[in-house]
Amino acid sequence: MPNLDVEVSTPDGAAGASLHVPGGPGPWPGVIMYPDAGGTRQVFREMGERLARSGYVVLVPDVYFRAGGYEPFSMDTVFSDPDERARLFGLATSLTPARVMADAVAFADFLDSRAEVATGPIGTTGYCMGGRLSLTVAGHLAERIGAAASFHGGRLAVADDPDSPHLMADAVRAVVYVGGAENDASFDNDQALRLHEAYRAAGVEHTIDTYAAAHGFAVPDMVTYDEAAAERHWTAMVALYDATLR
């Protein structure tokens, strides 16, 4: 199964990414996998490869490409080390809505240009910060996104945030799956209800589940990784894509 290092042309330069392609004859539906705030690293290459084995061409982009080369974060210490925490949040806050949107168009165009990728809508998924990006992109790219997933995503329906994904519900054409973590201040019960009401009012087919696990449950290098919850997330995500993108 090919795993390729690629570059995606964006308005702000070339974004590095890994492209994971199933073995055997294609084409296959395309998916953008957004990493958490720790950025692209080996664990996300492995996650992209795993999703590709289910029959999807997966693009895992370096969302921090504008920073040039940066030292990868160690996720078991980044939040306890003040300097590393500041570095991480500096990179995360550099992703303005305008940049996210420009990058999403470039990532979608890249997938559309690949012979391995089937014609039609693509999927998005994301973790933590990437979960918010996944739902944001579903709103901005409308009919280009057929399915959007978020796992332990934060700030998905913030009342006083003009860029909150729930405010884009009217533009969403994707089927949406949200897997939240229990006792997660970044996506609490109030946000879950607000997101549900926004999608319901807009007629968006959606599911919002709460996993009996901590924030970060799906990413293996997080100290809060939960194997049972992670396996449940893989099952839910593949079922979403199988039902909508094929």
Share of the chain above pLDDT 70, in %: 100
Supply the pLDDT for residue 188: 98
* Mean pLDDT value across the chain: 95
Mean pLDDT over residues 216-243, rounded?
A: 97
Share of the chain above pLDDT 90, in %: 86
**Token pair of 97, please?**
């809505």
Supply the pLDDT for residue 85: 83
How does pLDDT run across 76-113, given as a tens digit for each residue? Answer: 777 788 888 888 888 888 999 999 999 999 999 999 99
Vertex 192: Cα angle to 207 and 161 (nearest 5): 125
**Token pair of 67, please?**
């920073």
**Token pair of 184, please?**
């997660």
Domains defined for the chain, CATH in brackets: 3-244 (3.40.50.1820)
Q: How far apart are CA 243 and CA 216, in angstroms?
A: 26
Mean pLDDT over residues 9-22, rounded?
A: 97
How does pLDDT run across 152-177, given as a tens digit for each residue? Answer: 999 999 999 999 999 999 999 999 99
> How many residues are there in the chain?
246
Of 99, 135, 120, 89, the residue nearest 27 (C-alpha): 120
Supply the pLDDT for residue 24: 87
Contact criterion met (CB below 8 Å) for 168 and 199 = no
Q: Strands 175-181 and 122-126: what pairing?
A: unpaired
How does pLDDT run across 26-52, given as a tens digit for each residue? Answer: 999 999 999 999 989 999 999 999 999
